[in-house]
Structure 1
């Protein structure tokens, strides 16, 4: 029998970086991982950390709020954080919003990491909504009336910080699946077909009609 999507363990991911303008020197500044169990966030198993980039980061308009050089200087470096990330990511199904951006940076910093699959809520939202609504994470949360729930689950967080955005993804994914034609009968194979993206970084993801064969 095909495996239903909520029966498959997944982990939501978000990270904040110094910016793609740094090219190969782009640094991870914050990362969060929240497992999903039975289609819901397992917050008691969630994990997040600031990351010391080992250098001063110029303040830019897109720098996430609160990630100052003074705060980051007190955080552990990436090599101290990486084992915890590896334990949670290796061979896992990762879900994120515009997840290729996060994966590109994570893979650059830890090239040996290899998840089982990448699922993108942005890609799924484009399939569900077309051009009817905004595609940013905050716009989609508003569309699905999820913002207050995220704020309640992460009372000390805010948008564009890793833990807040990661928890947001864990709520947005089932909300998007709920309006698919298959709804409660969505299988993992169908979800991979609709929301899966390749792990080779820069390539354009295939369209919803193109099957990604990942063994589900």
Structure 2
């Protein structure tokens, strides 16, 4: 598979919303979004989204979406119910996300049974491409590539900093960034990994950038 086009990889975009790294061992997942990619495009019909009940009240913080409140999360399933759904979609896949190491750090802590084949980081790819934008946050990059309206349409009116919207945005951004690489028609699965992979154990060092990229 490694010498096949990058679109042949088992790509699945992922995003989660959490309470924040300052909670340390008490950091909780509040929402998850999964969007598989088919031939490099998001397959919304195969997507998965769920709120997650953290089992406790959450403080109001600027990086937590206003839609994720104690009231809305109270009726959501707990993480141990959501975990098998995530495992079924992420195991042995190439998980795509923006600054994916931050999400993987929390996901692996709360759902340790999930075993992806690789982590593909659109932030790392954006740095390689070196786009002349005012920043490299997901929303800035999507605006740069004029993809914001498409993400909102695909998510039926979703909004940034919600898990399904951000996962869909990462899925679209991946192809846009690859399109700006030299010799993109020749990019293989192994080439994608060389350009954008974050090693699974590297995620332990992530955390500081999650607030800079909001």
Aligned mates of 2:70, 2:16 — CA distance in 1: 17
Going from structure 1 to structure 2, the CA distance change for 1:156 and 1:131 (only over 3 Å counts) comes to: closer
How many residue pairs match? The answer is: 204
After superposition, the C-alpha distances for 1:104-154 in whole angstroms (9 at most, x for unaligned) are 000000122210000000000000016654100000001111111111111
The answer (yes or no) to whether the contact 1:128–1:176 under 8 Å persists in 2 is yes
Q: What is the CA–CA distance in structure 2 between the aligned matches of 1:59 and 1:44, rounded to whole Å?
A: 33
**Higher normalized contact order (CA 8 Å, seq sep 6+, divided by chain length):** 2
Cα distance in 2 for partners of 1:141, 1:133 equals: 12
Q: Distance in 1 between matches of 2:8 and 2:198?
A: 20
Secondary structure at the residue paired with 1:11?
strand
- Tell me how far apart the structure 2 counterparts of residues 40 and 126 of structure 1 sit (CA, whole Å): 22
Q: CA deviation at 1:65?
A: 2.6
**How is 1:89-104 mapped onto 2 (pairs within 5 angstroms)?**
89-104=90-105
- Is 1:71 aligned with 2:72? yes
> Structure 1 length normalisation: TM-score?
0.91
- Other-structure match for 1:209: none
CA distance, structure 1, for counterparts of residue 195 and residue 146 of structure 2:
23
Work out the CA distance in 1 between the residues paired with 2:167 and 2:20: 19
Structure 1: how far apart are the matches of 2:146 and 2:197?
A: 25
Is the 2:87–2:113 Cα contact (8 Å) retained in structure 1? no
Unaligned runs of 5+ in 1: 205-216
1:203 shift after superposition: 4.1
1:213 is aligned to: none
The root-mean-square deviation of aligned C-alpha atoms, in Å, is 1.3
Q: SS state of the match for residue 35, structure 1?
A: strand
Partner of 2:50: 49
Q: Is this contact kept in 2: 1:9–1:93, CA < 8 A?
A: yes
| Structure with greater helix percent | 2
Residue 25 of structure 1, CA deviation: 0.8
Alignment of 1:1-216 (within 5 A): 2-129=3-130, 132-200=133-201, 201-203=203-205
